[in-house]
Each structure stands twice: as C-alpha cells, then as structure tokens.
Amino acid sequence: SAEGRKKMLASGGGSMMTESAVLRALRWLKAHQNENGSWSQSQPIAMCGLALLAYLSHGETPESAEFGLTVQKAMKYLADQAMARGQMGDYAHGIGTYALAESYGMTKIPFIKPAAEKGIQVILDRQCASGGWFYGLAKGEKWDMSVCGWQIQALKAAYIAGLENPGILEAIEKSIKFLKKECYAGGRFG
C-alpha cells in the first residue's frame, strides 16, 4: 500500500528522491520491455526475472494501475518459459524461478503456481550432494556460488509462497549446511 511504502521508505533511509529514482527506473523498464514480456535478447530469462523482481519489490502486481500490464507480461513470459523448457539455464534458472515464486507468493495467480513448482523441482533435482549447485545445474562435486545463491533464493521464496514440492525445506537446510561449510574466514564466500 502507499502507506506501507512510506513506512518502509522511512525505516530504510529512503526519501522522496529515492522513490523518484525507483519510479524513473521502473518507467524506463516499462518503455523498453519486449512485446513477449522479456527485456533482453542475450539473457532474456535472467533479465526478465530481475526486472520482475524490481517491480514486485516495489509492490507492483498485474492489478497495478501504471505497471500492471508490464508485470503481467513478465509473469507470463517466465511461466511460459518454465513450462516449455523445464530448466531455464543455471543462474538464469534460479533468477527466473525466484521471480515466479515471489510472483505466486504475492498474487496467488493460479497459472504461476505450476510454472514455479516446475522450476523448483529442477532446483531440487539438481542440488549436488554438497548442498550447492554448479553451472548447467550439473550434479557432481563442483559448485559455484553465483549459481548457488539464486537457487537458494528461489527455494526460500518457494517455501514462503507455500509451493507444494516435497523436499523444499530439506533442500534449504542442506544449502545452509553447505554455506556454513564453504564460508571462508571472516564470513566471506567464494
């Protein structure tokens, strides 16, 4: 809500200037969205997921007056990609699935749920024994933190959204153990 946004701005150190900058960015994204709902030719799933997450974090849904159609087209693009492809890349898969899980959590729009669950199932099926993930979501001993982070975010969003894939909580717990084990001295990750 507008009142909720004002409270969050104040508590997070935001101002009308930062809100103005965010709105300019969202309007720029709206003006540059492809007709199919994506934004990029080279990384369409990742860029669509990131843009959609920006709208969602601003509280925008398909019901929003100014950005509703933009959000709806992005949700549809990602849902269509997840249903058609299953795996949508490596880090791109995590980003796209994260955006779908957040979308479902915020809106409970029925067509998003099966796409989000399909994306989550890929993440569950491709988690390495160590608890991490690797490029191409290939199972094995190797892992890459840039790939892992997005899969973990997607799992967290799926859990909060109430997606029904068996094993979400267990995969989150396994990934937490993985992160704790792979943490370097001083709390940094490689």
**pLDDT of the chain, 190 residues: tens digit per residue:** 778 878 888 898 888 899 899 999 999 999 999 999 999 999 999 999 999 999 999 999 999 999 999 999 999 999 999 999 989 888 899 999 999 999 999 999 999 999 999 999 999 999 999 999 998 888 888 888 889 999 999 999 999 999 999 999 999 999 999 998 887 667 777 6
Q: What is the pTM of this model?
A: 0.93
Return the HEC string of the chain.
CHHHHHHHHHHCCCCHHHHHHHHHHHHHHHHHCCCCCCCCCCCHHHHHHHHHHHHHHCCCCCCCCCCHHHHHHHHHHHHHHHHHHCCCCCHHHHHHHHHHHHHHHHHCCCCHHHHHHHHHHHHHHCCCCCCCCCHHHCCCCCCCHHHHHHHHHHHHHHHHHCCCCCCHHHHHHHHHHHHHHHCCCCCCCC
